[in-house]
Structure 1
Amino acid sequence: MFDAPRAIFVYGSLCRSELAHRQVEPCISGVERAELAGYGLYVRDGLPFITEVPGGSVRGDLLMPTAERADALRRRVQEYEGNDLYIERRVRAKAETGGEVDAWVYIGRSPRRGNPQLQEQRWSSADDPLFNGGLDGIFGFAKRHFETVRPMPADMEGFWEAFLPIQGLYLTLCTVLERYTALVFGPRLEPGKRLSRLQAESATMAAVAEVNPPSIEVRDSRDPRERECAPGRSSFDAWYQVRSNLSHRGKAAFTDFVLVERSIVGLHDTLRHLLASQLPLTHTARRSFAGDDRMLRPIYWQSRGPERV
């Protein structure tokens, strides 16, 4: 009977310097670059997975647990990956130092389903299209909107032509949020639970305070007694409630126009600030990613004026 592996081979967001590495960091004594032969790397719905590919090779990290936390490390990775998308398998990975190491790895379930896209040998969250170009596209569209469109009541001619684009823009921005939280906390958790964990992190509250987003108050369209506000500890709940109201029942009033605009500014700037500090970027790219010329707040106040509520 063979002893169970202690190391875990990871190739996605649990790798060193990646978004979710902090979830496993307390359980590990070291990380070593490694390569896994006989597998290919794919991305499906923004999440990386590997599957058997003759002649293939995937680069990643070997997580080496502390002596007393090997079981805890494995449980954390299992909880992060979940059973719906991944299957645990025992493999032999080649460490950068040259030796082979028995390790656990999580391979994709139903690898041919869901329009998977073949990747290079190594995955990085910094290359995710939503982070790499999506946020810039959102910024550019929102900037043009604030500079050329004024809020208007729902019964005014041209309302829907002006409102529908920012409604769609905001739903796309919430997709960026969902991608970020899925990579940080794992795809197993539902969005609401991921938001709760996100808001419990000190880095999140620091980002909200640094950005100082426009204030909003939003109520659940299904229960008007429920109220969320931003900025504050429930900022992400408030921004996500705006998204839920839009997708569930639609909005059509002057106050909703302003609410969506303010939510775009707050969520975009806070996400950009968080990602700049957590994505594996070079120092130059990090400064550019969250530079003053990439924040919507000054553009919003210049076009709308601080007196507007």
Structure 2
Amino acid sequence: MANNNPLKPPKNTDLPFFAYGIFKPHQIAYSRIENHVRKYYEKEINYNMLIRDGVPLITPSNGKSHIKTKGFLIYFNEGSSKEAYKIISKTEYEKLYKWEEIKIGENKANVLMGANPKMGSSGMEGKSGDYDGQEDPYFKEAIEVVENELNDENKHWSSIHDFFKLQMSYLLLWTAIERYISLKYNCPEIWQNRKQLANEEVFKESLKKHVNEERKVYSAKDLREYTLRPENPEHAINYYYTIRCNVAHRGKALHSDEHMLRQSLKELFNIFKDVLDDTFDES
């Protein structure tokens, strides 16, 4: 029975990899294998693409369908393929995928085939499956909702309703961030995913660009102190996450919180927006 265990690498790691989801160039997880890539070619295969939990999976065509799946045939550097496949396999779940070999023209390739595809999946609209993580609602519409909250520069805390909206925006932003890091890293512990994000170069650079002061926050759970410092990304992500936990578990609503929460929302929004822009940059 499918479960939440990560995949084991495919049997033949010398074969190229056909990527149609998060490991495609200019998608969320491509940077994790980029250093191992020798070359890649855009390809189209006669397989149906389905969506489950917001991520794509493919299944064999029934012969009557004209739907195709667009992706990239990726060749790894000599001596790097085992490590690349290890990264890919550790990121994906057995409940979603299984490794299979398919023919693409005259070439064989490894591909992540959908596991139990009829369970909780829906079809793609149109006649081709072309996944683009940039269209994920948490990276598009959710970001727009948060941006609208921030764009009202004349808005100040005038009622508990306004403050709740600010809290809701902060929690929504963190929902988007946690989706990003879980898709990209899939570490056993969520704090490890946050640490990975903090160590991305774009996060470090954006932190220094958007934060120009030090602030402290205390955890509502154990009163531990967390300090925001532009030069320390791991401390910064822990600071922003502590505010998220305080909002979710304590719901504290005091005048003194409004400035800290709005400033943190603005900073973290701009940082995460830079991360997304860098991830989906096709230049």
Query: Whole-Å Cα distance in 2 between the matches of residues 240 and 115 of structure 1?
Result: 32
- Match for residue 272 of structure 2? 271
1:24 Cα offset (Å): 0.9
- Match for residue 288 of structure 1? none
List aligned pairs for 1:153-172, cutoff 5 A.
158-159=159-160, 161-172=161-172
Contact conserved, 1:88 with 1:104, CA < 8 A, in 2? yes
Aligned positions, number: 265
Can you list the C-alpha shifts for 1:47-91, whole angstroms capped at 9, x where unaligned?
222233423421111121222222222212111223343222222
Is structure 2 residue 90 aligned with structure 1 residue 91? no
Query: Whole-Å Cα distance in 1 between the matches of residues 218 and 138 of structure 2?
Result: 28
- Match for residue 251 of structure 1? 252
Contact conserved, 2:102 with 2:109, CA < 8 A, in 1? yes
Can you list the C-alpha shifts for 1:223-260, whole angstroms capped at 9, x where unaligned?
11242425332222211221122222322222333332
- Match for residue 43 of structure 1? 51
List aligned pairs for 1:98-113, cutoff 5 A.
99-113=105-119
3-state SS, counterpart of residue 27 of structure 2: coil
- Match for residue 26 of structure 2? 17
- Match for residue 143 of structure 1? 151
Query: Whole-Å Cα distance in 2 between the matches of residues 25 and 74 of structure 1?
Result: 12
Structure 2 counterpart of 1:74, which letter? Y
- Match for residue 76 of structure 1? 87
Tell me: CA distance 1:111–1:253, structure 2 relative to 1, closer, same or farther (3 Å).
farther
Query: Whole-Å Cα distance in 2 between the matches of residues 22 and 280 of structure 1?
Result: 12
3-state SS, counterpart of residue 148 of structure 1: coil
Query: Whole-Å Cα distance in 2 between the matches of residues 143 and 19 of structure 1?
Result: 27
Tell me: CA distance 1:258–1:230, structure 2 relative to 1, closer, same or farther (3 Å).
farther
Q: TM-score, normalized by length of structure 2? A: 0.83
Query: Whole-Å Cα distance in 2 between the matches of residues 188 and 112 of structure 1?
Result: 27
Tell me: CA distance 1:89–1:214, structure 2 relative to 1, closer, same or farther (3 Å).
farther
Query: Whole-Å Cα distance in 2 between the matches of residues 236 and 116 of structure 1?
Result: 35
Contact conserved, 2:226 with 2:242, CA < 8 A, in 1? no
Tell me: CA distance 1:77–1:249, structure 2 relative to 1, closer, same or farther (3 Å).
same
Contact conserved, 2:100 with 2:111, CA < 8 A, in 1? yes
List aligned pairs for 1:231-242, cutoff 5 A.
231=230, 232-233=232-233, 234-242=235-243
1:189 Cα offset (Å): 4.5
3-state SS, counterpart of residue 138 of structure 2: helix
Query: Whole-Å Cα distance in 1 between the matches of residues 118 and 168 of structure 2?
Result: 30
List aligned pairs for 1:157-236, cutoff 5 A.
158-159=159-160, 161-185=161-185, 187=186, 189-212=188-211, 215-231=214-230, 232-233=232-233, 234-236=235-237
- Match for residue 4 of structure 2? none
Query: Whole-Å Cα distance in 1 between the matches of residues 221 and 163 of structure 2?
Result: 22
Aligned-pair RMSD on alpha carbons? 2.4
Structure 1 counterpart of 2:167, which letter? Q
Tell me: CA distance 1:226–1:121, structure 2 relative to 1, closer, same or farther (3 Å).
same
Structure 1 counterpart of 2:207, which letter? V
| Further displaced range: 57-66 or 103-112 | 103-112
Tell me: CA distance 1:213–1:276, structure 2 relative to 1, closer, same or farther (3 Å).
farther
| Further displaced range: 206-215 or 69-78 | 206-215
Query: Whole-Å Cα distance in 1 between the matches of residues 182 and 123 of structure 2?
Result: 18
Query: Whole-Å Cα distance in 1 between the matches of residues 135 and 86 of structure 2?
Result: 28
Query: Whole-Å Cα distance in 1 between the matches of residues 20 and 30 of structure 2?
Result: 11
Structure 1 spans left out of the alignment, 5+ residues: 153-157, 283-309
Query: Whole-Å Cα distance in 2 between the matches of residues 91 and 180 of structure 1?
Result: 29
Structure 2 spans left out of the alignment, 5+ residues: 1-10
Query: Whole-Å Cα distance in 1 between the matches of residues 52 and 206 of structure 2?
Result: 29
Q: TM-score, normalized by length of structure 1? A: 0.76
**Aligned residues with identical type, % of pairs:** 22
Contact conserved, 1:10 with 1:60, CA < 8 A, in 2? yes
Tell me: CA distance 1:176–1:73, structure 2 relative to 1, closer, same or farther (3 Å).
same
1:168 Cα offset (Å): 1.1
